[in-house]
Chains A and B, each alone.
Chain A
Amino acid sequence: MLEAVPAIADPLYLSVKLAFFTTLFIPVAALPLAWLFAFRRFAGKSLAEAFVALPMVLPPTVLGFWLLVVMGPNGFMGQAWQAVFNERLIFSFPAILLASVVYNMPFAVQPLRATFEKMDRRLLECSAVLGLSPLATFRRVILPNSLPGLAASSVLVFAHSLGEFGVILMVGGSMPGTTKVASIAIYEAVEALRYDDAFLLCLALVPASFIVLLAVNRMNRSLQ
């Protein structure tokens, strides 16, 4: 039982690391998009909305295969990464992190957008009348008023990336200690008929996810 600890601890640590960084990075990409969708009208808006929502309806393996091609040495992302960092992107931790961010976009954009749309427009009008620039309005009026929405979307994104499987299966390559997250380790354990290991990993993953959700929900409530 005890000799199996690294085989279980490593993937769990990786899953938490992936979930943490995904949650950390996603507002950077999701906030501007949510703001665009909530407050701006532009040509092709519904196309853009549908495109961002695509990971919600696509099978993760389909998205994963597309990312595999784009992040590979011949894909544009893979080549850009190689040019900047002089190392391969595919089958590395940054690769699964990028995939995780792409996959989680709709789960971050939708709740944020809903929060923005619920906001009292008079607040925004006041802020404009008082001479704040749109950027300052966003930073000093919109953002503080949307913290609950941001927290709610973070909960979803964190929980989502903790159990992410299909996309990572495609772009991770199951490298021990780098991309072999808990969900992949569970899958492999079941395939290899190591049901005890699979059970132990699940045993660790379920309460871990639950505690995270409880904590973030509590934080969410205290913000409201």
Chain B
Amino acid sequence: MQSRFPGRLLPYLLLSPSVVIVIVFLIIPSIQSLYYSFFRVSPFGDRLVYVAFDNFIKLLNPDYLNSFIVTLVFTGAIVVIGLAVCLALALVANQKVAGIGLYRTALIWPYALSPAVAGTIWALVFDPSTGAFSYFISLVSGTMPNWRTNGTFAVVVITLAAMWKMVGYNVIFFLAGLQTIPRELIEASEIDGAGALTRFLKITFPLLSPMTLFLLIMNTLYGFFQVFGLIDVMTEGGPARATEVLVYKLYYDGFISLKTGYASAQSIVLFVFVAGLTLLQFRFAKRWVFYQ
């Protein structure tokens, strides 16, 4: 139990800046998004026509469904492949060998790179005519698909760039999680003669599961929301909408085509999605704090 200060007004004064900002810039605009999703709004926002669920029904068209599938595939790859690779890396970096501190630093620095920077650099290394990776691939395979015209390959390149940027973040958290596992537990099982694989499956992985769930949620949110810069820099959603993820489509419909109502309906879909993930987070991993 915390010792307390008396004071009636002070706690309100202390909380008011945070609460005012959340209400003005987060809660009210979100409610407005919901409101707009039932209207057709003229491009300058001066006329509203009530259209009931029309904006939501329009979500069933092929363009939006395409965005939905692209987002799921892209995010699924980041979560499954990205997390598996990063966990393997963290397990190796958790070994006690000489110079391990230096190794860890050399692994986590991509955390500081932005999606836009990652996108530009990967656009260079995969540049069809001059890129280093394009060159390596054509050395090995003899041909080089062009991701600027080949949609499937564009998704692959975007996914690689996005995963690469998250390595630092994932390794930091996996390492932090691994360091909470009691040494005695590992040593006891070694004495009992458990092999490395058994140890990993029976001890390390279960004890790491809250961290894995946390990273799963953070990487899903990253795949859904934070790759806008990467995609805008690399493909602008193309070629032929192959990389048009949900956030890109929302931006395009809301700010380029100026279809406010339709974009708002898309916001609501994203909200349902985030709300679900957040509840999952609070339900299963109460002790982990969110990091943006």
Are A and B a genuine interacting pair, yes or no?
no
